[in-house]
Structure 1
């Protein structure tokens, strides 16, 4: 699912930032992520191995996509939670999408 250890580390950092950072309010978290905080936390704890590959793909996709694109307006604390820049994460996200098993239209919607 990831090309290298660096990408895996960036994704892990983003999963933890999604769970513990101020980027997403509790009332909207599950709607944006498709999972509750506890579920994303469990996925982060087991990363990069997964009990459920599909759930892991969705969690990673939604975490990266929302950190980069959702108007969380918390760029002021970004580097308190994530050491990579948004541009670097966008590159990781592109590689993740290329490697994700998204060969069908509906799989790519996540």
Structure 2
């Protein structure tokens, strides 16, 4: 897979999420959400879920977990996704260099 495949998959997943996102939660998650709701007193409990997604995303970026999974599946990193090009494309190593066997002047 590639950077283009990642972009297509993100766009597809983004389209699957409506403005209203139905979420089923288990008993433990419901209990934790209730505790956070009482302690933090948000205007809307949905705000806690939004914060949780932001925190999970940031922690996976900070720990390198996101890059690990992206590299495993798409052969790119989050920074490469943000820039729209791979590291090899940025450094100019993306295109194979022509190798003439007779041209050994610059090889060490």
Which structure's residues are more often helix, by fraction?
1
TM-score by length of 2: 0.24
TM-score by length of 1: 0.24
Larger Rg: 1 or 2? Answer: 2
